[in-house]
Amino acid sequence: MLKGKTIVLGVSGGIAAYKAAAICSKLKQSGAEVYVIMTESATKFIAPLTFQTLSRHDVIVDTFDEKDASVVSHIDLADRADLFVVAPATANIIAKMAHGLADDMLSTTLLATTAPVLVAPAMNVHMYEHPAVIANMKLLGDRGVLFVEPGTGQLACGYVGKGRLEEPERIVEAIERYFAEKQLLHGKKVLVTAGGTVERIDPVRYLTNDSSGKMGFAIAEAARIMGADVTLVVGKASAYIPPGIRTVRVQSAEDMLDAVMERFGDTDIVIKAAAVADYRPAETATQKIKKKDEAMTIQLVKNKDILQTLGQHKTTQFIVGFAAETENIDEHALDKLQRKNCDLLVANDVSQEGAGFGYDTNIVRIYDGNGLVEALPIMTKQEVARRLLLQVAERIKKGD
Report yes or no: 166 and 150 within 8 Å, Cβ to Cβ.
yes
Residue 227's identity, in one-letter code, is: G
Q: Which residues contact 232 (CB under 8 A, 6 or more apart)?
A: 192, 193, 194, 216, 217, 220, 241, 242, 245, 246, 247, 248
| Active-site residue flag, 24 | no
SS3 362: strand
**DSSP calls for 369-387:** TTEEEEE--SEEHHHHHHH
Report yes or no: 28 and 55 within 8 Å, Cβ to Cβ.
yes
Q: Of the residues 135, 157, 204, 261, which is catalytic? A: 157
- Dihedral angle computed from the Cα positions of residues 278, 357, 237 and 193, in that order, rounded to the nearest 10 degrees: -60
Q: In angstroms, rounded to a whole number, what is the distance separating the alpha carbons of residues 316 and 400?
A: 11
Report yes or no: 194 and 215 within 8 Å, Cβ to Cβ.
yes
Beta strands 344-349 and 279-281: pairing type? unpaired
Q: In angstroms, rounded to a whole number, what is the distance separating the alpha carbons of residues 351 and 110?
A: 40
Measured between alpha carbons, how far is residue 11 from residues 48, 122, 136, 271, 379 in Å?
10, 11, 19, 38, 28
Backbone dihedral angles phi then psi of residue 137, each to the nearest 5 degrees: -65, -35
Q: What radius of gyration, in Å, describes the C-alpha atoms of the chain?
A: 24
Q: Which residues are marked as active site?
A: 157
